[in-house]
Amino acid sequence: MSKPFQLTHDVIASENRRLEADLGRDAEHLASVLARRGAVFEALVARARAFRIAVPSWGLATGGTRFARFPIAGEPRDVFEKIDDCHAINLLVGITPLVSLHIPWDKPRDAGALKAHAEERGLAIDSMNSNTFEDQEGQPLSYKYGSLAHPDPAVRRQAVEHNLECIEIGRALGASSLTVWIGDGGNFAGQMHFRDALAAYLDSMQAIYAGLPANWRVLLEHKLFEPAFYSTVINDWGTSYWAAERLGPQAFCLVDLGHHAPNVNIEMIVARLIQFGKLGGFHFNDSKYGDDDLDAGSTKPFQLFLVFNELVDAELAAVPGFTPAYMLDQSHNVTDPIESLMVSAMEVQRAYVQACLVDRAALDAAQEANDALAALAALKAAFTTDVSPLLAMARRAAGGAADPVAVYRASRYREVIAKERPAPPRRGAGIV
């Protein structure tokens, strides 16, 4: 097991002092710009500080391209070391005290010890993710042709049992939601009976739902495509909504930003799910050609902002039952995963704060008057505001770093930790 991360709030504070004067000036300027618009800088800092997003345990090791995975030194070798890396991230950015786990990748031998390990580092376990898209060693039946929607009831049963086990592990860890994404689908036209597969999925999900503790949620994750797939079973939000509706009040839809067709209006999907009371959460990432391939906010920051515009609108309207869970879900192929996860968490937080800046009265008036240009201008005024000093002040106030990547690099965390964590033997391909 690795030693505890050497960075302390004191080390961060001394790094922060170097930036203090410049940050103070920038924050003052931003506060006066915001004041002219009727926004209170301190109130926005408070909202930024209250923002929370979960880190995916599986994002802490490098992912792969379609051809290979090129691991870096010091990658975590087990779930305890993943928690240590999450601790480093949260110390620096202050908004990620939650870790989302994937079973069996993170299956603990001793759940109590894992829970204590997380809690000692100020972290809690967020959603439990099941895995029926890979075959595990010793697993009796294969998921080659599907899992929860497989034509064979024995395979479906095995996949249901796995999900029930995820709930049990999650209970012991203090989690309160299960995220279900399946890789079920067809590779050829005619291979899959579309209606039968969906009926089988619902039947399996009903068995999982029956095992859900009363205070838990199940989040259904849809996905349009996989490489070499002709169809997927839970292909879009409508199918996901249909299933969540039939399952009952503890079932919700999860929107992964990378799981849609190009040009799909994701913020509108978000608005629909809010309106129907079924928005359960997000997997944030950015996407160019494939899924989970790029860091959140790295290519389509305006889309991310538009999604948050809907979320903040719902928050301000106090839409009943509106409590979506925010998680990152990314594959880091060429960057240090810790750096990517920190930057991504901050980019999602940035979109949230920018959305808080939207002049809702001006937007309403423009919509009422069918003034398209003024409506867009209201959004753009918020989106183009550089809230970086505000985010830095929020982090600093929480004991985090004004510039997390700079502090992380200065700490040589990766280098130090690499000495305790020899490079992993597996050099497989694959995008996680």
Residue 295 as a binder of Zn ion (CB under 5 A): the answer is no
Residue 330 CB, shortest distance to Zn ion, in Å, is 9
Q: Is 222 in the site for ligand AOS (CB under 6 A)?
A: no
Binding region for Zn ion (CB under 5 A) out of 10-18, 251-259, 265-273, 388-396: 251-259
Identity of the residue numbered 138: G
Binding characters for ligand AOS, 15-54, by CB under 6 A (x = yes): ----------------------------------------
Chosen residue from 292, 295, 310, 347 binding Zn ion by CB under 5 A: 292
The site partner of 58 among ligand AOS, Zn ion, none (C-beta below 5 to 8 Å per kind) is: ligand AOS
Among 117, 121, 223, 395, binds ligand AOS (CB under 6 A): 223
**If contact means CB under 5 to 8 A according to the sort of partner, which of Zn ion, ligand AOS, none does residue 129 touch?**
ligand AOS
> Does the footprint of Zn ion cover residue 256 (CB under 5 A)?
yes
Q: How far apart are the first and last CA of the chain?
A: 25
Q: Does 286 bind ligand AOS (CB under 6 A)?
A: no
Nearest residue to ligand AOS by CB is 181
Can you tell me whether residue 218 is helix, strand or coil? strand
Which 3 state secondary structure label does DSSP give 104?
A: coil
- Asked if residue 400 lies in contact with residue 260, where contact means CB atoms within 8 angstroms, the answer is no
Nearest CA to 292 out of 265, 261, 329, 262 is that of: 329
Share of the chain residues as helix, strand and coil, in percent rounded to the nearest 5: 50, 10, 40
* 85 contributes a contact to Zn ion by CB under 5 A: no
Q: Where does this chain touch Zn ion (CB under 5 A) — which range of 137-145, 279-287, 294-302, 380-388?
A: 279-287
The per-residue DSSP string of 320-362 comes to TT--PEEEE----SSS-HHHHHHHHHHHHHHHHHHHHTS-HHH
Residue 268 structure tokens: 């509108």
Check: CB of residue 253 under 8 Å from CB of residue 244. Answer: yes
Q: Does 295 help bind ligand AOS (rule: CB under 6 A)?
A: no
Q: Return d(Cα 163, Cα 212) in angstroms, integer.
A: 10
Interface residues with ligand AOS (CB under 6 A) are 58, 102, 129, 181, 221, 223, 256, 283, 291-292, 329, 432
